[in-house]
Structures are given as structure tokens and as C-alpha cells.
Structure 1
Amino acid sequence: MKVAYYPGCSLHSTAREYDISFQLVCRKLGIELQEIPHWVCCGSSPAHVTSHLLSIALPCKNLILAEEMGLDTVVAPCAACFNRLKIAKQEVAEDSKLKKEVQEVLGKPSAGKIEVKHPLQVIIEDVGLKKVEEMTRRKLQGLRVASYYGCLLVRPPSVINFDDPEDPQSMDNLVSALGGEALPWAFKTECCGASFSLSETDIVFELSGEILNEALEAGAECILVACPLCQSNLDLRQKGIEKRRGKKFNLPILYFTELLGLALGMSMRQLGLSRHIVNPSKLLERKLAVT
């Protein structure tokens, strides 16, 4: 299977371990990633609060570049990038005036044929959990995992059309297939406050703090994520949240690709796990006997 790869800004900077682990996992599962040449920022949160046209033109630029590669699918690991690509594709398909404006800005027709997928979709729908389970070399040994999807991966459902928007199960099913315990909990799709990371940090501390608290109360030993913005807030800010709340969490925040990579036999070093602020090594050494 060959797909166009849109890493987005985060996976080339603050979330390099997500990029590293995703590429390693794809190689193992027989997925060939071809990075889009000369891709640009999707605009994420800043663009759509500044200019609607800009917020659509930026992701459309990437869709056009991906389509020019001759591939039928583009994969975007960042939930914000994935969300913006999906929204842009749908809006230009439904609004002829907007499509014309985007075309005037970009100088090319807007892309409309290429399918946008998140890595979770590729692994669940295209590779299949049965194959993943067959390839597992290291079971998760009942590791108690709170799967956190965030607010952008499965919403709005009319655009995303992937998993249940209120109680998604894709990551949970992956955890179960790998031998872990996917915990039921109420904050799977609550917002971590990523859009306010720089402008309203008090809001971020409150929202992310509630997520950490609920995961701990549910019995989680770690939180699994599929978005670099969520990972950053829950990992990077965790010490600050502990200080504000007077409560110790010590919850490693892992990308689902990292946990999958470990299950497929890779080492923590290979997967870039040393880049995490909340060190997951003791937990993983104890539960999975990995180094």
C-alpha cells in the first residue's frame, strides 16, 4: 500500500517521535509513505480565526500537491491537520464560489479526488487488526490504557465520517488487540485546550487537568493519543498541572504509534520515547520488559 504523507509542522518539530514511530510502524506493516514535496502548513487554529479563505486555501494547496503525486490517499497524523484537510476538501466540493476563490489564489484547480485519512484509519481499515495481532511480538500484558481522541479526530461527524464522535473505539480496539486493557472513561473526546496554548494558558491548564484527573480516576497507567497538540498539553504541562492541583499524576502520554511499535518488537530508543517529558521507561520496563 502506497500513500501520500502529510507530516505537518508538528511532526517535523515538537512531535518528531510521532513521525519516527509512525514511519517505523508503516515500514513494518507494509505501508509505503511518500512525503508530499514542498508541503505547507495547514493553518491549524490560527488561519481559520483570521481568514476563512486562507484556512481553506492552505490545506487545498497540500491536497493538490498530493493529487499530483498520482496517489489516491493522503495520510495526516496530526488530528488538527487531518481535520483541516477534511474540512477544506468538503467545503470546496460544496461551495462553487469558494472553490473559484481558492483556485484564483492557488492558480490551480482545487483537489477533489484524493481521500484524506488519519493513520488510525489506515491501520484499522486497510491493514486490519487481525494482521496487526498476528504480527505482534510483545503483548501489552494488561497495560491499563486511557485512549484519548481529543476533539478534532472524530468531529464534526458529517465531515470526518470516522468512528463514533461521542464514544470512539478505534484506539481502544487497537489496545485490546495488542493485549492491553482499554479503559472505559468519560473524557475521550473532551478538548485539551490546544487552540489556547499560547493565548489563554489558564484555560489549557484547567481543561488538560480535568483530562489527566479523569484518566487517573479511571485507573489508567498511561494515556494514548493520536494528536501532537494533545500530547504536548498533557505531557509538557503535566508538571505545572500537578503543581496547580496539588496532585501527582505521573501519567506517560504516548502516541498510539509508539505503543504499536513496542508491540511489534521495536525498542524505546528506536521509537524516540526519550523525548517525552513524563518518562515512560519505568512503566514500560515493568509492564512490557522493554528497554
Structure 2
Amino acid sequence: MKYAYYPGCSGHGSSVEYETSTRAVCNALNMDLVEIDDWNCCGSTPAHSISHELSGALSARNLVQAAKTGADCVITPCPSCSSNLKMARWRMQKPAFKDEVDSLLDAPTPANAEGGADLLHTYSVLQAIVENVGVDAIARRMSYPLEGIKVVTYYGCLLSRPVEVADFDDPNDPVSLDNILKALGAEVLPFAFKTECCGAAMGIPDVNIPGSLSGRILEAAKAAGAEAVVTACPLCHMNLDLRQRQAARISGNAPFELPVFYYTQLIALAFGLPEESIRLDKLAVNPKPLLDKIAARREARVQASLAEARKAAGVAS
């Protein structure tokens, strides 16, 4: 498949490590990405709170631009962008909404036989990997298992919701990230907070709200025995990683010191991709102790294999 790639605003700024690791992983999985020319902000957080039509117009323009690439569909790493692009296409199946959106654009969007908009489908990168590439392909490509680490997966509230628009995974108990991490050799712990909201949209107007909500998520992760949190969302990552000390203070907890990874960083690590594409240096909470643990387990496994080989050679001789 050929994918029209929408990086989103954060991909070229605050979540550059997500962007570089996503591109590296997609390349390793032979996914053909073509970045959408002249893309614009999809308006995922501020626009839809003011006007559904404005939000729809911002996303519709991106989808029109995407069609010019000749791609089969649109993919984006950010769940918020994915949700907004999907929502715009879904709403624009109604001719009246399409007309409202078209009035805000330079040219009307293409129409289908029912009078709605004829726009490409959008998928999150996670959805495209799981549904079009497959977890088995990830396991086959793995070079360095993530042995000996205990993680919880945090999906946030947008990846699989609303159900009729997202059309991906279970809205209450998603497992796509779980399956990927298990295939990479990590121990994925049960986690009741995997779809709880972290309050990302309130990060600017009132830090106490995301601080309290994120603190509850991190506290639950620690209580579950996790050594790291794995997520797929730039906004969630910012709250759980960059603002972790703030979340601890606001929620009244001791420092969590829990590394928070993008799932693409861990896939890239297990694939043995170049460090500059993984950008672990961008994480606010130091992941080195956990990475050292993975390396030590890996080295122990190598030494055990060598010992077995020497023993077998000795017996054979």
C-alpha cells in the first residue's frame, strides 16, 4: 500500500522523537510513506471546540491534498490528528455538512454518489501497522528482544473512540500495543487505566487538571509494578513524561521516575535501528537504567548460548 503521511504539528516540534522513530519503523517494515504536500494544522484541539465546520474544513483540506499523492489512504502518528481527520470524513458524508465545509474552502471537496464528500480514509500509524503489516511481521523483524522489562500500555482516550468513527481495537480494553510489546519480548502488565484521560487538552488553561489526572495514571502504573509506560500519543506523552514531576507534586505523590516511551521507539530499539532515529535523548525521565537492564539480559542470553555451544562442541569432540 501507498500511504499519504500526515506528520501533524507536534511531529515537527515537541514530539520529534516520535516522528523520527515512526518514519524509521515504517521504513523498516517496507511501508511506503509520501508526506502530504502543503499540509496544515488539522485543528484537533482548539478548532473543534469552537466550530465543527471550521475543524472539518481544516481536516478536509488535508484529505484533499492527500488524494493528490495517489495514495490508498492517509496515516498519521498522532491519535488526536487521526481522530480529527476521521471525524471530518465521517461528518462530511452528510451533504449539508459538506456544503458548510466547502463554503470555507477555496474549492469544493469531491462528492460521492450520495452527495457526501469523497475523501480518503484515515488510519493511525498504529492501526496501519497492526492491520496491514501485522504483529507477526514485527516479531520476524526483531533483532534485539526487550527481555526482562515490565511495562504498561497507555492508549489514551482517542485511539479507539468514538467507536463508529475510530473503527479500531476495543474502546474499553484495547490490545494492539499490548500485542506488539509482547511480540518484542516485554512483559506487559494488566493496567486498568489504559484508556483513562490524562487531561492533555487542559494543559494550558489549568495545569492542575492534567497534573491530577496524569498523577493517577502514573500512580496506578507504579502500583501495577511497571518499570515504564508505553504510549502512542504526543499529548499524552508530554503529560506523562515532560510533566511527570509536576504531576507528582499536584497529585501529592513521591517522584515516579517512570520512563515513558513511544511504542515506535521500542520497536526501533528491538529492530536495532540507528540511535539518531530513536532519539531516546529527548525523554525527560532518564531511560538509561531500564535500557541497561535490557542490555544486561541480552548479554546474559548471549553468554548462555555461547556456553551451550562450547559445551556441545566439547561433547562432540
Task: Give the aligned partner of residue 51 of structure 1.
Answer: 51
In the alignment, the residues of structure 2 paired with residue 180 and residue 212 of structure 1 have an alpha-carbon distance, to the nearest angstrom, of: 19
- Which stretches of structure 1, 4 residues or more, deviate above 3 A after TM superposition? 267-270
Given residue 102 of structure 1, which amino acid in structure 2 is its aligned partner?
Answer: V
Task: Give the aligned partner of residue 254 of structure 1.
Answer: 261
Offset, 1:268: 4.0
Query: What aligned pairs does 1:268-279 form with structure 2 within 5 A after superposition?
Result: 268-279=275-286
8 Å contact from structure 1 (residues 268, 274) kept in 2: no
In the alignment, the residues of structure 1 paired with residue 108 and residue 254 of structure 2 have an alpha-carbon distance, to the nearest angstrom, of: 54
**In the superposition, relative to structure 1, how do residues 222 and 267 fare at CA in structure 2: closer, same or farther (>3 Å)?**
farther
Task: Give the aligned partner of residue 99 of structure 1.
Answer: 98
Note if 1:157 corresponds to 2:163: yes
In the alignment, the residues of structure 1 paired with residue 178 and residue 217 of structure 2 have an alpha-carbon distance, to the nearest angstrom, of: 17
Offset, 1:240: 1.5
Aligned with 2:103: secondary structure?
helix
Task: Give the aligned partner of residue 30 of structure 1.
Answer: 30
Note if 1:8 corresponds to 2:8: yes
Task: Give the aligned partner of residue 192 of structure 1.
Answer: 198
| Greater displacement, 260-269 / 192-201 | 260-269
8 Å contact from structure 1 (residues 139, 288) kept in 2: no
1:101-134 Cα shifts (integer Å, max 9, x gaps)? 2122211315534121111111111111111111
Task: Give the aligned partner of residue 239 of structure 2.
Answer: 233
Offset, 1:269: 4.0
8 Å contact from structure 2 (residues 210, 247) kept in 1: no
Task: Give the aligned partner of residue 217 of structure 2.
Answer: 211
In the alignment, the residues of structure 2 paired with residue 22 and residue 45 of structure 1 have an alpha-carbon distance, to the nearest angstrom, of: 22
In the alignment, the residues of structure 1 paired with residue 295 and residue 165 of structure 2 have an alpha-carbon distance, to the nearest angstrom, of: 38
Offset, 1:288: 3.5
Note if 1:134 corresponds to 2:140: yes
In the alignment, the residues of structure 1 paired with residue 163 and residue 253 of structure 2 have an alpha-carbon distance, to the nearest angstrom, of: 37
Given residue 6 of structure 1, which amino acid in structure 2 is its aligned partner?
Answer: Y
Query: What aligned pairs does 1:54-69 form with structure 2 within 5 A after superposition?
Result: 54-69=54-69
8 Å contact from structure 1 (residues 10, 228) kept in 2: yes
Offset, 1:282: 2.1
Given residue 277 of structure 1, which amino acid in structure 2 is its aligned partner?
Answer: A
Offset, 1:142: 3.2
Given residue 288 of structure 1, which amino acid in structure 2 is its aligned partner?
Answer: A
* Identical positions, percent: 45
In the alignment, the residues of structure 2 paired with residue 51 and residue 241 of structure 1 have an alpha-carbon distance, to the nearest angstrom, of: 31
Task: Give the aligned partner of residue 263 of structure 1.
Answer: 270
Aligned with 1:152: secondary structure?
coil
1:34-80 Cα shifts (integer Å, max 9, x gaps)? 11010000101110111121111111111111012111111011110
Given residue 77 of structure 1, which amino acid in structure 2 is its aligned partner?
Answer: P
The equivalent position to 2:289 in structure 1, one of 260, 264, 282, is: 282
Aligned with 1:44: secondary structure?
coil
In the alignment, the residues of structure 2 paired with residue 148 and residue 132 of structure 1 have an alpha-carbon distance, to the nearest angstrom, of: 20
Q: Bigger radius of gyration, 1 or 2?
A: 2
In the alignment, the residues of structure 2 paired with residue 184 and residue 18 of structure 1 have an alpha-carbon distance, to the nearest angstrom, of: 25
In the alignment, the residues of structure 1 paired with residue 215 and residue 209 of structure 2 have an alpha-carbon distance, to the nearest angstrom, of: 10
Offset, 1:242: 2.4
Aligned with 2:74: secondary structure?
strand
Task: Give the aligned partner of residue 207 of structure 2.
Answer: 201
Task: Give the aligned partner of residue 116 of structure 1.
Answer: 122
Given residue 7 of structure 1, which amino acid in structure 2 is its aligned partner?
Answer: P
CA RMSD in angstroms, aligned pairs only? 1.3
8 Å contact from structure 1 (residues 4, 69) kept in 2: yes
